[in-house]
Amino acid sequence: MVDVGGKPHERRRAVAHAFVAMQAETVAALRELPKGDALATAQIAGERYTWAGLAPETSEFACDVQIRAHADPVPASATISEGTITVTPDNPLDGVAPGQTAVLYAGTRVLGQFTIDRTISAVPAPV
C-alpha cells in the first residue's frame, strides 16, 4: 500500500480503453438493432431456488419479478418444470446476466428467489 497522505489535492483524469472481438455477422446484426435492444432479455431461468414459506400450489403462476435491489418488480409469469423455474416478464428486461438473483413477489409478499442460470434474448437470432 502506498501512503498518499502527504500529496496535495489535484484534479486527475482516468482513461480506460477496451477491445471487444466478435464475428462480423454479430457486428452487422448489432448495427441493425435500436440502441439497447441487444441486451433485452425475454426469459430467465434457474435451478437453484428457494421459497419464502410454502411453494406455489401450481407449476404455472403469475408473479412479479425483481432482478435489481433498487428496481421495481415487473409483471411476469413463472413455470416450474423438471427442477427449473422459468420466468417470462410481460416486457423484456434489460441487461440481465447469469449469476444475478431474481426475487418473485405476489403483490408485496415475497414468494421466493432463484439464481439466474440462463437467459434468453428478446432479439431474434439472425437466420
pLDDT tens string 30-49: 787 766 677 789 999 999 99
The pLDDT value recorded for residue 4 is 66
Can you give the pTM of this predicted structure?
Answer: 0.73
Nearest C-alpha neighbor of 93 from the set 114, 116, 112: 116
Do the Cβ atoms of 46 and 118 come closer than 8 Å? yes
Residue 30, C-alpha cell as written in the block: 448489432
Residue 32, C-alpha cell as written in the block: 441493425
Residue 5, C-alpha cell as written in the block: 497522505
Residue 19 banded pLDDT, cuts 50, 70, 90: confident
Distance CA 71, CA 25 (A): 34
Query: Does the pLDDT of residue 58 top 90, yes or no?
Result: yes
Indicate the average pLDDT of the chain.
Answer: 88
- The residues near 23 (Cβ < 8 Å, ≥ 6 apart) are none
All domains in the chain, ordered by first residue: 24-121 (2.40.30.10)
